[in-house]
Amino acid sequence: MNIEISVEGERTISTITGTIQHKQHDHEYRDKDRDQHKELISDMICLMDGRVIVVEEYGKVNLLTSDGKLQKQLPIPGEAWGVTQINQNTIAITYPNERAIKIFNMEKETVTKVITLDKACYGLSFSNGSLAVGLIKDEIRIIDLEGNTLKSIQVESKSLPVSLCLL
């Protein structure tokens, strides 16, 4: 699977192209032209240091180098969906089937905290010490890093809140 990402920030615009090899799992589709199995990407982010996290839909969390090469699959159990960065070494990942957000230290490669919610969670964004979480059906919930609800926003939607951007 080739991934092309354009990154714009304080540094110049750069393009990252990489190839990720994936294992088969239940949520795959068949490329009719090539008759190959491919994974769907549910989320991706550019980290502060230029590396990239790519989350396979209900699957693995892949760490890519800044030039797009697969560095490693992060050892986080469960069926991941959304990802956001909290600080230089910490990311948060949603697990809809577990109704949970896992806080993961990338340097130590450990889950440091699990925030349990009352609904399946998908999209995720972090800003000013708070997480914005897209919950199934019709809610975006703003929570602190302890899981306390700061604000609940009801939205009119017939689709999953799969991607969020918090400014």
* Amino acid 159: pLDDT: 56
Write the pLDDT tens digit of every residue in 3-49. 444 444 333 223 333 333 333 333 333 344 334 546 789 999 999 99
Q: In the predicted model, is pLDDT for residue 104 greater than 90?
A: yes
Q: With helix as H, strand as E and coil as C, how does the chain read?
A: CEEEEEECCCCCCEEEEEECCCCCCCCEEEECCCCEEEECEEEEEECCCCCEEEEECCECEEEECCCCCEEEECCCCCCECCEEEEECCEEEEEEHHHCEEEEEECCCCEEEEEEECCCCEEEEEEECCEEEEEECCCEEEEEECCCCEEEEEECCCCCCCCCCCCC
* Domains located in the chain, CATH noted: 2-7+28-154 (2.130.10.10)
Write the pLDDT tens digit of every residue in 141-167. 999 999 999 999 998 766 554 454 444
* Amino acid 120: pLDDT: 95
